[in-house]
Amino acid sequence: MNDMTARFRDIRDDLDRQVQDRTKQVVRSEQLASVGFLAAGVAHEINNPLASIAMCAESLEGRVDEVVFRDDADRDVVRTYLRMIQDEAFRCKEITEKLLDFSRIGEVRRQDTDLRELVQGVIDMLRHVGKYDDKHLDFTSGDPVYASINGQEIKQVVLNLVINALDSLDSGGTVTVDVVERNGQALLTVADNGCGMTPEVQEHLFEPFFTRRRNGQGTGLGLSIAFRIVADHEGAIDVHSDGPGQGSRFRVRLPASRTHKEIAHRYQAA
């Protein structure tokens, strides 16, 4: 009797955890949708004055040589400040573009895509990025895994996850990427042995403008956009870390393509 009671208690606790996790996901999705609606309006309003600032600074820089200065040092100072204005204006423009990406909703064209091939393309590209030369990026081998996706959007998800993992590493660290099909789901896992995360960081990681990058750079929108894209594909994304210095693991779950699964089954039965 005691064993049965204990089993029921375990089942109840597990169901409670599932309900709590699902509630958090729903609340997070609603929050992201609200922020996305606001972000779209803000981005559109900011883009026009930013373009004017950048254009005026560029025009003034071209006329600096026509202005009489007391010495060349003054001219160099003015030119330096004008370039800083341009650089910061374009940096703000990049942020507003990401805000628009974050807020973009609607039907997108999807097709059956081999996730392993898509991920391989992203990894091949990142292996040529010089700043990651002292880090290892491994992709485990396996069979093709198909899902009905928008290739460009899921490629953005993979890129964000892998770059975040690489940025968390010290020199000599390793990121391992894996794609498998299990129980009708396509599973993408990105694991690293980098700086790891506290439970508090994991709790807020997918919120807009939240960033864990050690160098303090980044807009804090990459993982929020990834979360939104995966949710739009009727999938889920979660993160786990045992704590600071223990590395991290991101896992994306997407519905596997039934068409290719049926074809593979026919070949196996033949």
CATH code, 205: 3.30.565.10
**Chain-centroid distance, C-alpha 144:** 23
Domain extent, residue 94, equals 7-103
Say if residue 244's pLDDT is above 80. yes
C-alpha to C-alpha distance for 224 and 104, rounded to whole angstroms: 12
Single out the residue of 248, 234, 171, 162 nearest to residue 205, CA to CA.
Answer: 248
Say if residue 20's pLDDT is above 90. no
φ and ψ at residue 50, rounded to 5 degrees:
-65, -40
Averaged pLDDT, 141-161? 91
- How many residues does this entry show for the chain? 270
Q: What is the dihedral of CA 212, 213, 216, 221, to 10 degrees?
A: -70
- Whether 165 and 50 share a structural domain: no
- Whether 43 and 163 share a structural domain: no
What per-residue confidence (pLDDT) applies to 79? Answer: 80
CATH code for the domain in which residue 16 is found: 1.10.287.130
Q: Using pLDDT thresholds of 50, 70 and 90, give the confidence band for residue 27.
A: very low
Q: Using pLDDT thresholds of 50, 70 and 90, give the confidence band for residue 65.
A: low
What per-residue confidence (pLDDT) applies to 28? Answer: 52
Give a yes or no: residue 267 inside a domain.
no
φ and ψ at residue 69, rounded to 5 degrees:
-115, 160
Say if residues 163 and 122 touch (Cβ distance below 8 Å): no
- Whether 169 and 232 share a structural domain: yes
What per-residue confidence (pLDDT) applies to 263? Answer: 46
Say if residue 71's pLDDT is above 90. no
Task: Summarize pLDDT for 85-113 with one digit per residue, the tens.
Answer: 888 787 777 766 666 665 555 455 789 99
Task: Summarize pLDDT for 196-211 with one digit per residue, the tens.
Answer: 999 999 888 888 767 6
| Structural tokens at position 49 | 């004055």
Residues near 9 by Cβ (< 8 Å), separated by ≥ 6? none
Say if residue 62's pLDDT is above 90. no
CA distances from 92 to 102, 130, 179, 248 (A): 15, 25, 35, 30
- Among residues 59, 81, 103, the one where a domain terminates is 103
Averaged pLDDT, 157-170? 92
**H-helix segments, 107-257:** 115-126, 151-167, 199-204, 222-232
C-alpha to C-alpha distance for 251 and 269, rounded to whole angstroms: 32
Most confident of 94-108, 142-156, 221-235: 142-156
Task: Summarize pLDDT for 178-187 with one digit per residue, the tens.
Answer: 999 999 999 9
Give a yes or no: residue 269 inside a domain.
no
Domain count, the chain: 2
How large a percentage of the chain has pLDDT more than 90?
34
- Whether 120 and 28 share a structural domain: no
The structure tokens 């030369």 sit at: 133
What per-residue confidence (pLDDT) applies to 264? Answer: 46
SS3 218: coil
- Among residues 103, 138, 162, the one where a domain terminates is 103
C-alpha to C-alpha distance for 109 and 152, rounded to whole angstroms: 10
Say if residues 108 and 150 touch (Cβ distance below 8 Å): yes
- Among residues 103, 126, 142, the one where a domain terminates is 103
- Whether 149 and 191 share a structural domain: yes
What per-residue confidence (pLDDT) applies to 99? Answer: 63
What amino acid is encoded at 238 in this protein? D
Say if residue 167's pLDDT is above 70. yes
C-alpha to C-alpha distance for 253 and 142, rounded to whole angstroms: 17
Q: Using pLDDT thresholds of 50, 70 and 90, give the confidence band for residue 120.
A: very high
